[in-house]
């Protein structure tokens, strides 16, 4: 949905020792908005983490657990 709306426009996949990282960009020339990392250990297949720059937003044993951080919150508008 965020790709279709134009909010996210590019991505990159990096492999580093002991870790795979999926980065999401608004523009190619900028720093990533978010990075989703998978590292060995934790549950049966590893541990997942979501970062916004140096700030860790979520971590969990499944990808579904950490992707919930991207679910939009409903806002109540009064007036």
Residue 23 scores a pLDDT above 90: yes
What pLDDT digit, counting tens, does each position of 54-79 carry?
999 999 999 998 999 888 665 566 65
When pLDDT is averaged across residues 38-50 and rounded to a whole number, the result is 81
The pLDDT value recorded for residue 75 is 58
Q: Which range (26-30, 50-54, 72-76) has the least confidence? A: 72-76
Mean pLDDT of 46-51: 91
What is the full DSSP assignment across 7-57?
Answer: S--EEEEEEETTEEEEEEESSTTSPPSEEEEEESSSSSS-EEEEEETTEEE
pTM of the model: 0.77
Domain boundaries, the chain: 10-68
């Amino acid at each position: 949905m965020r790709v279709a709306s134009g909010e996210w426009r590019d991505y990159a996949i990096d492999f580093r020792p002991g870790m795979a990282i999926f980065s999401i960009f608004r523009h190619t020339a900028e720093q990533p908005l978010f990075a989703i990392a998978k590292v060995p250990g934790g549950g049966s297949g590893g541990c997942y983490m979501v970062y916004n720059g140096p700030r860790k937003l979520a971590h969990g044993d499944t990808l579904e657990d950490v992707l919930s951080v991207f679910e939009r919150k409903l806002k109540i508008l009064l007036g």
